[in-house]
Amino acid sequence: MSGLYGIDDAFLSLAQDAALKAGPEWERAEDTRRHNYLKVLKAFQAAGVGDHHFAGTTGYGYGDLGREALESVYAEVFGTEGAIVRHQISSGTQAVSACLFGILLPGDELVVATGPPYDTVARVIGRSPGDVGSLREIGVRVKEVPLLPGGTPDLEAIEGAVGANTRAVLIQRSMGYSWRRALPVDEVGWIVEAVRRANDGAIIVVDNCYGEFVEKEEPGERGCDLVCGSLIKNPGGGIAPCGGYIAGKREYLDRVAARLTAPGQGAGIGPTLGLNRLLFQGFFMAPFVVSEAIKGAIFASWFLETLGFDTMPRPGDRRADSVQGILLGRPERLISFCHGIQAASPVNSMVLPEAGEMPGYGDKIVMGGGTFIQGASSELSVDAPLREPYACYLQGGVAWEQVALGVIMGVDRMRKDGLI
Ligand SMILES: *Cc1c(COP(=O)(O)O)cnc(C)c1O
């Protein structure tokens, strides 16, 4: 390795120690993978997935058998009545946005149960008049309940905030770009119980980005009404070229579909253009890819803690998403670390990432990761908004070895740049 990649020998021996320490923690990830793999396989068999489902439709996409079978596989695995799985959903943000605009009307109240939402979701809700087309603009009222200091949900405050007029409650599982822990599915279940006590009819929506297949259970199995995410994160298995999903109760899916396409047409249209096989295959691969990413993330937390950096989750912590937060503390280090991750990538390894503006984000962001699919974070990638506390968020990787190489090269790059 040191000859092949020019990495300092001292880092390699520290990395070897970290890999040894990470080993016992990997067993949990592999146990989860086995469970989820068998669950996914069973759902393919139950839906009778066949070659004929891989043919695509064009135009309106009426009667697309592959699309229908894929959506029934998603619903089965995520424990919901139905699902909408479409390549026309271009981002996780669009999936969350479709859910919220599908169920909220002017004058309705939304309670955000997990503190400040992810940057792009905050703009869907609307923080300022500059957020054109936001929920606030159409007159949705929003209350936000912060997480408790340890990052657990504040059940009492949630129960207090949800009233008779609350139409929907939003739960964000992953840490996003904030220094908070991800919510395990059983804690999502506690929120569901608290919300039901206060208002049995409130619609519970989960932003499940990065949460899929990290645990043996999914939020739909705990009674959440709508659960959504991106196919270029966990459930696409590194193979889906684009897309998003929304799984949940039929009556709410119908409303969401009416916003996603048009009232009356709903989920009945949407040509698949020959992409079905990739979405099926990606979903089939997803439990493996997620477990590799998590093994890489566990290694990263051990290795960076050894070097004196704070990580979230920390070594030994239970994991509820596939993201690894690393507190680097200085903007120059974020950029340098991203250069190392980029250099460890199979595509565009010669590119030097710079911080830039991104659609939907307020702060400048630097990203590293040369992926086959643009922006895919099922593949190894790192993002860092240039703001306090100067943390980066590492995720994905179809093989843990690549994550390890990326992290080692990131640290080595910071050393070469004189930053550590
Ligand atoms: C990634 C992510 C999203 C959606 O991001 P896109 O880049 O639009 O797919 C939403 N919420 C959270 C918590 C996320 O991590």
53-107 pLDDT tens trace: 999 999 999 999 999 999 999 999 999 999 999 999 999 999 999 999 999 999 9
Q: Work out the burial of residue 99: count CB atoms within 10 Å of its CB; fewer than 13 is exposed, 13-18 middle, 19 or more buried.
A: buried
pLDDT of residue 362: 85
Instruction: Return the SS3 of 367.
Output: strand
State in Å: Cα 77 to ligand 1 middle.
21
Instruction: Please tell me if the CB atom of residue 299 comes closer than 6 angstroms to any atom of ligand 1.
Output: no
Instruction: Check pocket membership of 121 for ligand 1, CB cut-off 6 A.
Output: yes
Please tell me if the CB atom of residue 207 comes closer than 6 angstroms to any atom of ligand 1.
yes
Mean pLDDT of the chain: 96
Helix residue ranges per DSSP H, 109-266: 119-125, 155-161, 185-198, 250-260
Q: Judge if the beta carbon of residue 243 lies within 6 A of ligand 1.
A: no
CA 7 to chain centre: 31
pLDDT in tens, 160-187: 999 999 999 999 999 999 999 999 999 9
324 lines ligand 1 (CB under 6 A): no
- % residues pLDDT > 70 (the chain): 100
What separation in Å is there between the alpha carbon of 183 and the centre of ligand 1? 15
* Each residue's pLDDT tens digit, 104-136: 999 999 999 999 999 999 999 998 888 999 999
**pLDDT score of 3:** 80
Region 9-15 average pLDDT? 91
Is pLDDT at 1 greater than 80 in this prediction? Answer: no
- pTM metric for this prediction: 0.97
pLDDT, one tens digit per residue, over 132-164 is 999 999 999 999 999 999 999 999 999 999 999
**Terminal alpha carbon distance of the chain:** 21
Ligand 1 mean position, distance from CA 99 (Å): 14
CA of 92 to the centre of ligand 1 (A): 5
Integer Cα distance of 305 and 18 in angstroms: 9
